Amino acid sequence: MTERLLEGRTALLTGVGSGLGRGIATSFAAAGANVALVARSNAIPDALVRDIRDAGGRAVFIKGDITDPSSLATAVDETVGTYGGIDIVVQIAAHGRSNLSRPLEDITLDEWDEHVAVTLTGCYTVAHAAYPALKASGSGRFIAITSAYGLAGDASNPIYASLKGAIRGFAKSLAKEWGDDGIAVNVFAPSSESESSNAYFAMHPEAWEGFRAAFPMRRMGNPETDIAPAIVALAGEQFRFVSGQTIPIDGGFYTTL
């Protein structure tokens, strides 16, 4: 039985779809949180809202675009109007092609700017819009998703590694700036399986064997049972004095850096 670690608190989540985002959303709801799913389209969130409600949780879909400050401000206002406030923000949304290998010589400036606008500027937009509500909470939590590649770099994907590293610096700065407001700011570096990664490795088992060697636990994490529970815990009161940290949830992958 899931502990109700977030009972009575409201969480705004961006970029929720399948995989990690779905795992976080369902786990937050199971822990008692009111969940607001913010996305540009209701195609996936509508089904997720139904699943959460069918399981006895509380969730709504609110339309919002993290690349549009006015849209995000409206989404924040709607969440506050629906639930009375916002205690937790989890910024998951990133550029949809972030996982594609692209050496620097093939990256145009327009492509670079497009990724920055979603993954990095989007993180700023969400934080900027949500700050007043998090401050009013008195015990706010702002959580963003980074990557081990934001620490180690990635020879095949400099955009992804650069932006994930920048998010770490942004979060550490917010932790210092927002500390007087009782807001804890942290980032997670998960190694989470997804439908696309599982399909790819099923087709290319030799690639998985090479990748698997980097994990002391010899597997990637399940979004719902391995990754999300740690994020739920950090969003609760047990870890209220933890802020400004990058926390790997990766089966030991970080030990190889």
| 184-190/34-39 β-pairing | unpaired
Pairing of strands 34-39, 10-14: parallel
Q: What is the pLDDT of residues 192-238, one digit of tens each?
A: 777 667 776 787 788 778 778 888 888 888 888 899 999 999 999 99
| Residue 154: burial class (beta carbons within 10 Å; 0-12, 13-18, 19+) | middle
pLDDT value of position 140: 97
pLDDT of residue 80: 98
Return per-residue pLDDT of the chain as tens, 257 residues: 457 899 999 999 998 876 788 999 999 999 999 999 998 887 778 889 999 999 999 999 999 999 999 999 999 999 999 999 999 999 988 776 766 777 888 889 999 898 899 899 999 999 999 999 999 999 999 999 988 878 888 888 888 889 999 999 999 999 999 999 999 999 998 887 776 677 767 877 887 787 788 888 888 888 888 999 999 999 999 999 999 999 998 888 877 65
Per DSSP, the residues of 70-134 read HHHHHHHHHHHHHHS---EEEE----TTTTS---GGG--HHHHHHHIIIIIHHHHHHHHHHHHHH
Q: What is the dihedral of CA 239, 243, 249, 254, to 10 degrees?
A: -140
Strands (E), the chain: 10-14, 34-39, 58-63, 88-91, 141-145, 184-190, 246-249
Task: For residue 160, indicate whether it is catalytic.
Answer: yes
Q: Which residue bears the tokens 């997720």?
A: 48
Cα–Cα distance measured from residue 118 to residue 115, given in angstroms and rounded to the nearest whole number: 5
* Residue 182: predicted pLDDT: 96
Give residue 257's pLDDT.
Answer: 57
Sign of CA dihedral 8, 10, 13, 18: positive
pTM, to two decimals: 0.91
3-state helix, strand, coil in the chain (%, to 5): 50, 15, 35
Domains of the chain in sequence order: 10-256 (3.40.50.720)
What's the confidence (pLDDT) of residue 141? 98
Which is the catalytic residue, given 83, 131, 160, 254?
160
